[in-house]
Structure 1
Amino acid sequence: MVQLHDARRRHYDVRLEVDGVLKSWAVPLGPSLDPVVKRLAVFTTDHALEYATYEGVHAEAKYGSGAVIVWDAGVYTNLTRDKQRRLVEPADAIERGHLKFRLRGVKLDGTWAFTRTDRDWLMVKVRDESADPLLDLTATEPRSVLSGLTIDEMAATAT
């Protein structure tokens, strides 16, 4: 699932369930459908599975203040392979610094990869049938897949 979080800086939290927790990356500009674009993805703390459906506004909270919406939701399939073409479990792939996965969400459909660099991670769209350099879903699809609210409308519910 992908949450849009309006904390100190607005960003997208891409969360994948791995071994009973949500492994999380903060992607400031959100997922891109353009395989040429490499998006900064900051690996963050694990979140409880219950957080996958959280929407609301939290003040100084455990996971940061600000409004949160579920921007996209769905399932992922791990596609990570080692040099012998054997499947690598997601936890091991993250430990090794490269996770390739297929998303089947309401908005995002296709294959992406997270790759660790010296200091952070990058999120990159893999060239496939869903790649589209001209489409920016973060601009054209601003609403939550759960509540239908935009991030600004969610923030307004706190006042």
Structure 2
Amino acid sequence: MTPAHADAVLRIYGAGAASGLATFQAQPPTWAEFDAGHLPDHRLVALDADDAVLGWVAVSPVSGRCVYAGVVELSVYVDPAARGRGVGRLLVDGLVDSARAGGVWTIQAGVFPQNRASLALHAAAGFRVVGTRERLGLMGHGPLAGSWLDVVLLEKRL
């Protein structure tokens, strides 16, 4: 992923936010916010034959404490028009390879239980459920607006 992909990455992020199934955020961040919050060494995009972005994956550090230096949190988003074509799996597998090569020892993710496709993707990629944070936050947008949502916690040890 490069800054040249920023518009497409943020558009796809916005589509996920609008679905109400991907994030508590109502709007995507700015590119500067996205760039500051995600580790530069572990950002990937999937491109079609015309170099259009089909999806993206990136990780954020989970803590500034040195004992968590090898633990990251994954975000993966696929363009609605590209869903069901294996793009998410391609991205997650690429991220796992990148993280392993970069010294990461644990990748974690938080997924709404209503997002069955994301839960299935993570399970297929070898993530395991470690718990559920109940009623973590109030959804303010999308089809689940006004609902308190649980977040399923997943991890993959490398």
Under a length normalisation based on structure 2, what TM-score does the superposition of the two structures give?
0.30
The structure whose residues are more often helix, as a share, is 2
Q: Which has the higher contact order (CA 8 A, sep 6+)?
A: 1
The structure whose residues are more often strand, as a share, is 1
Under a length normalisation based on structure 1, what TM-score does the superposition of the two structures give?
0.30
